[in-house]
Amino acid sequence: MIITRNRIASLLRKRGYKITPQRRAVLNTIALSHDHLTPAAIYEKVHRENPGVGLVTVYRTLDLLTELGLICEVHAGGSCRSYLMRRPSEHHHHLICSECGTVADFAECDLNKLEQKLCRKTGFEINGHLLEFSGLCQNCRRRKPEDAT
């Protein structure tokens, strides 16, 4: 866990939010997973260990954590709204098979120059980006060998 608990705790406190076991649990679950998790998946994991946590709380906590910038929303393939710990050191992106949903990760992305250019051009302050490739994975390519046009 790269972002320390103390840091998180003080961030919450600073904004007037309380630190509750539920919030800890949600954050912990996301932090321990190196993958995206949908709200439902997070709920399931959290709930398994802390049966007292409801789905609603998961949603609310996700909103909160997103607002604080601790986690970020990811649009993985068909299912929108997955969440991921914000962990710049492990920045990565996805390649998603549109046929079977397989996801491959990759880390390379060289968008800084573009980012800077856009900042200058548009006046936006850019905090993040979402980059996703979609296509067919090896298996599905074989199975679906290019329609003749």
Partner DNA sequence: CTGACTGCAAATAGTTTGCATGACG
Partner DNA sequence: CGTCATGCAAACTATTTGCAGTCAG
Is the CB of 20 or the CB of 138 nearer to DNA? 20
Of 24, 149, 36, the C-alpha closest to 103 is 36
Considering the rule CB under 8 A, would residue 80 count as an interface residue with a copy of itself? yes
Is the CB of 116 or the CB of 134 nearer to DNA? 134
What minimum distance in Å lies between the beta carbon of 62 and a copy of itself?
13
What minimum distance in Å lies between the beta carbon of 49 and a copy of itself?
29
> Based on the number of CB atoms within 10 Å of its own CB, is 124 exposed (0-12), middle (13-18) or buried (19 or more)?
exposed
Contact between 41 and 35 under an 8 Å Cβ cutoff? The reply is no
Cβ neighbours for 51, distance < 8 A, ≥ 6 positions apart: none
Considering the rule CB under 8 A, would residue 123 count as an interface residue with a copy of itself? yes
Considering the rule CB under 8 A, would residue 89 count as an interface residue with a copy of itself? no
Q: Which residues bind DNA (CB under 7 A)?
A: 12-13, 16-23, 38-40, 52-57, 59-61, 63, 80-81
What minimum distance in Å lies between the beta carbon of 7 and DNA?
14
What minimum distance in Å lies between the beta carbon of 111 and DNA?
26
Angle at 25 (CA atoms; ends 50, 9), nearest 5 degrees: 145
Contact between 87 and 2 under an 8 Å Cβ cutoff? The reply is yes
The one-letter code for the residue type at 7 is R
Residue ranges binding a copy of itself (CB under 8 A): 75, 80-81, 95, 97-98, 104, 106, 108-111, 114-115, 117-118, 121-138, 141
